[in-house]
Amino acid sequence: KSPSPRQNMPVRYFIMKSSNLQNIDISQQKGIWSTTPSNERKLNGAFWESSVVYLIFSVQGSGCFQGFARMGSAIGCEKSQDWGSAGFGGVFKVDWIRKESIPFQFAHHLLNPWNDSKKVQ
């Protein structure tokens, strides 16, 4: 279950890199996502400790963001066959807010202070 929005809690943002566009399409159609087990702890922590967690999706090598979504549930143990045996962990709900390609050049003014102030892409 998704917790109710918590006021006075931070908003968190994560860039989710996908190896292919098919995974993004599945996510947009089914409202789910799955990531590697190494990312699960960080995302679940952010989900429980933040008012909202936004996930910004990009296919590696595309030069674009493919849209963004709100994390709608914690990551569970259930796995999805939608991604085959690609080494992903549990599935969680995502609520897509924007489903369109946005070239990185439109976000070059955004810098990540936790990554040596590099461009967000």
Residue 105 lies in a domain: yes
Note the pLDDT tens digit of each residue in 61-93: 888 889 999 999 999 888 888 776 567 888 999
pTM given for the model: 0.82
Residue 64 lies in a domain: yes
List the structure tokens of 25.
């399409």
Residue 2 lies in a domain: no
Containing domain of residue 27, as a range? 9-117
Q: Rounded to whole angstroms, what are the CA distances from 6 to 11, 13, 71?
A: 10, 16, 14
Residue 113 lies in a domain: yes
Q: Rounded to whole angstroms, what are the CA distances from 72 to 4, 8, 54, 75?
A: 10, 19, 9, 9
List the structure tokens of 97.
């807010």
Residue 84 lies in a domain: yes
Residue 94 lies in a domain: yes
Note the pLDDT tens digit of each residue in 7-66: 567 899 998 998 889 999 999 999 999 998 889 999 999 999 999 999 999 998 888 889
Give the domain CATH number at 34.
3.10.590.10
Tokens 């549990």 correspond to 90
Total number of domains in the chain:
1
Q: What is the pLDDT of residue 1?
A: 43
